Amino acid sequence: MTDTQTTPNLSPRQAVVLSRVLGSGFVTIEALAEEFGVSAQTVRRDIITLSEKGLLQRFHGGAGPVGAAESARLDHAAKRDVAKPEKHLVGARAAAIIPDGASVFLDVGTTIECCAARLAQRKGFRIFTTSIRTALLFDPEAHEVNVIGGRLSGRDGSLTGEEVILRLNDLRIDVALIACSAVDDTERVMDFNTSKIAVKKAAMNAAAASYLLCTTSKFGRTALATIAPMSRFQSIITEVETS
Amino acid sequence: MTDTQTTPNLSPRQAVVLSRVLGSGFVTIEALAEEFGVSAQTVRRDIITLSEKGLLQRFHGGAGPVGAAESARLDHAAKRDVAKPEKHLVGARAAAIIPDGASVFLDVGTTIECCAARLAQRKGFRIFTTSIRTALLFDPEAHEVNVIGGRLSGRDGSLTGEEVILRLNDLRIDVALIACSAVDDTERVMDFNTSKIAVKKAAMNAAAASYLLCTTSKFGRTALATIAPMSRFQSIITEVETS
DNA sequence: TCTTTCGTGTAAGATTTCTTCCATCAAATG
DNA sequence: CATTTGATGGAAGAAATCTTACACGAAAGA
C-alpha cells in the first residue's frame, strides 16, 4: 500500500529543504541543519525521504536538484568514449580560428562543447546551435545565442527533426563546427544517427565554411551513414599537428 | 593588488569543469574524473585552483557555483533563491490535473520547473517549451520533448523572438501552463518582460486550455505589461485551497 | 645534456560523512 | 490511563572523501 505518488505529503521543513535545494542548486546537510536548528541526522532523513520520491538527488555531504548533476553524471558523461584530453585540444584549436563576431553554428557533442567553453570566454559571437547543453555554456548578454528549435532526441541535449532543417535552410552563417562518429578509409565523414546527420548536412549548406572537429580516434572507423566527404570541409581539426 | 582577475589562465579542462559546474549547479568529483578520464586527485586539484580564483565553491565530494545560497551575480539564481515551498505545491497541483498523454506547453519559470519535475516522473507527454532548462528535466525516451527554437534571452534558459511566435502560431496543443510576475487588483495577469509576454500570449492562443501557475504572493502586485485577464485562464493554480 | 618545472598518478593517514541501532519524547489511539 | 506511532537526537562502526607526501614522465630552459 504505497500511496507515494498521489500524495505529495511533505512536512513544512521538507518543503523548505526542497526549495533550498532547487533554488541554490546544492545545499550541504550542515547548512540545512543549522538553518532549521535540528541535527544533521534529521536533515539527512528529510533528504532521504525527498530523494525516494524523486524530488532531489542525494550527494555525499548534501543534496542537489535531480536534473542537475545527473545530467553531467551518468547520461551525458555516458560511459561511451568519454571526453578525453584530446577533445579539449581540438576544441581549443577550433576556437582559435574563429574570428571575433562571427556567426557560428555549433553541432552537438562533447568536443563541440569543449570549443564552446572557449568561445564563451570571448564576446560578441552570433551562436546558432541545436544543442541545448551547448547553448547553456554561453552568457546571453555577451553573445547572441540562437537555439534552433526541434525535438529533443537524447540526453545529450540534441534537437533534430524537420523544423531544424527548415530553419537551417533559411540561415546564412559564417562557420559551421561539425562533429562526427567516424571517418572511414575512403575519407567519408560518417555518423550513426540519421536525424543528426540531416541536421549536420543542413548546417553545412547554410555555412560559408565548415570545419570538422574530431579526434584521431575516429579515423579508420565506419558508421551508419555518410555526412559528407572530407573534401567538403574547409579543414579537419584534430588533436595532432597537421602542419 | 590581486592580479588574479586579469588573467583567467585556465587549462582547457579547467574551463570545461567550470562550465559543467555553472551549467549543472553541482558536479561530483567522481563524475568529472570519469568524464575526463583522469584521476579524482587531478580533478580535485583543478577544483582547488578554480576555487582559489573564486570561480566556484568546493564541497565535500564535488563543487558548485560560487555563492549558491547568497548569489548576487545571477539574476536567475537570485530569483530561484526566492523559491518558496509554495512553488512546489503549485507545481504538484498543476501536474495533477494534466491527463496522461496530453500535449502540454510549459512556460519559463521556477514554478513551471517544479511542475515539470513532476510530469517528468510519468510517461508519454508531448511537451512543448521555450525553456531549455525545463526541457532538460525530461527524458526524451519517455516523452516527446519539443523545444521551440529562438533566441536565448537570459540565464533562466528562456527562448524568445519572432521564430518562437511563428512556430507557436502553427501549433495546436491541449494545455498551456503559464507563469507570471504579477496579478494586479483589476485581475490582469502581468509580467515585466515584453518578449516573454508575446510568447505567453502565443502559447495561450495555441492551447485549448490555459492554466496560470502562481503563488499568492503575486497577487495585488503590478508589472510592466499585461499578458491577459484572469478570465482568460481555465483556472488559476495557487498554493492555497480554492475548493 | 642536464636541470628545473609542471602536471599527473598513487598511497597512507586524517577527517568527514554515512549507516545502523537505540533511547527519548510527544501526540495520537485504544 | 496505557499503548502505539512518529519524529528526533545520540553514539559506534563503516564508508567515502580529503590531505599530505612522494614518484614518475614530459616539456621547457640552462
**Same domain for A151 and A203?**
yes
Question: What is residue A71's DSSP assignment?
Answer: I
| Three-point CA angle A62, A64, A68, nearest 5° | 145
**Same domain for B57 and B159?**
no
Q: Measured between alpha carbons, how far apart are the two ends of chain A, in Å?
A: 69
* CATH classification at residue B188: 3.40.50.10470
Contacts of residue B109 in chain A, CB cutoff 8 Å?
A: none
| Cell output for A46 | 528529510
pLDDT in tens, chain A (243 residues): 333 233 346 677 887 787 778 767 788 898 888 888 888 889 999 898 888 877 788 899 888 877 544 433 334 433 333 444 567 678 878 988 999 999 999 999 888 987 887 788 788 999 999 999 889 878 898 899 999 999 999 888 899 999 999 999 999 999 999 999 999 999 999 999 999 999 999 999 999 999 999 988 889 999 999 999 999 999 999 877 553
User: Are B26 and A140 within 8 A, CB to CB?
Assistant: no
What is the spatial distance between Cα A67 and Cα A71, in angstroms, rounded to a whole number? Answer: 6
How much helix, strand and coil, in percent to the nearest 5, is found in chain A?
40, 25, 40
What is the spatial distance between Cα B157 and Cα B133, in angstroms, rounded to a whole number? Answer: 6
B195 CA – D1 C1', rounded, Å: 68
Domain count, chain B: 2
pLDDT of residue A53: 76
Domain containing residue A97: 85-237
Express as a percent the part of chain B with pLDDT over 70.
Answer: 85
Q: Is residue A34 part of a domain?
A: yes
Question: Between helices B12-24 and B29-36, what is the axis angle to 10°?
Answer: 140
B230 interface with A at CB cutoff 8 Å:
no
Which residues face B188 on adjacent strands?
B229
How many residues in total does chain B contain? 243
| Residue A219 CB partners (closer than 8 Å, separation 6+) | A183
**Same domain for A206 and A103?**
yes
Question: What is residue A154's DSSP assignment?
Answer: S
User: Are B68 and A167 within 8 A, CB to CB?
Assistant: no
B178-216: burial string, b at 16+ Cβ within 10 Å, e else: bbbbbbbeeebbbbebebbbbbbbbbbebbeebbbbbbe
B171 interface with A at CB cutoff 8 Å:
no
B107 CA – C6 C1', rounded, Å: 49
What is the spatial distance between Cα A125 and Cα A116, in angstroms, rounded to a whole number? Answer: 11
Q: In the block, which residue shows the cell 563576431?
A: A101
* CATH classification at residue A26: 1.10.10.10
Contacts of residue B26 in chain A, CB cutoff 8 Å?
A: 25-26, 59, 64-65, 68-69
**Same domain for A105 and A28?**
no
| Cell output for B241 | 485551497
**Same domain for B138 and B201?**
yes
Contacts of residue A137 in chain B, CB cutoff 8 Å?
A: 19, 23
pLDDT band at B10 (very low <50, low <70, confident <90, very high): low
**Same domain for A68 and A118?**
no
- Three-state DSSP class for A39? coil
Instruction: Name the residue with the least CA to C1' distance from nucleotide D18.
Output: B60
Q: In the block, which residue shows the cell 547553456?
A: A136
Pick from A204, A225, A223, A202: nearest CA to A213: A204
Pick from B12, B27, B80, B15: nearest CA to B58: B27
**Same domain for A102 and A177?**
yes
Q: Which of A73, A100, A120 is the last residue of a domain?
A: A73
**Same domain for A68 and A133?**
no
Q: How many cross-chain Cβ pairs, A to B, lie less than 8 Å apart?
A: 219
Question: How confident is the model over B160-188, as pLDDT tens digits?
Answer: 999 999 999 999 999 999 999 999 999 99
**Same domain for A59 and A160?**
no
B77 interface with A at CB cutoff 8 Å:
yes
Q: Is residue B6 part of a domain?
A: no
Q: Measured between alpha carbons, how far apart are the two ends of chain B, in Å?
A: 62
- H helix count then E strand count, chain A: 9, 14
**Same domain for A40 and A132?**
no
What is the spatial distance between Cα B167 and Cα B141, in angstroms, rounded to a whole number? Answer: 23
How many residues in total does chain A contain? 243
pLDDT of residue A187: 93
Q: Is residue A1 part of a domain?
A: no
What is the spatial distance between Cα A74 and Cα B30, in angstroms, rounded to a whole number? Answer: 11
**Same domain for A106 and A173?**
yes
| Cell output for A238 | 584534430
| Cell output for B27 | 558536479
Within 13 Å of residue A167, how many CA atoms lie on the same side as its CB? 26
Pick from B115, B92, B93, B89: nearest CA to B104: B115
**Same domain for A165 and A190?**
yes
Q: Is residue B131 part of a domain?
A: yes
B3: exposed, middle or buried (Cβ count in 10 Å: 0-12, 13-18, 19+): exposed
Backbone angles phi, psi at A88, to 5 degrees: -70, -35
Pick from A44, A52, A54: nearest CA to A22: A54
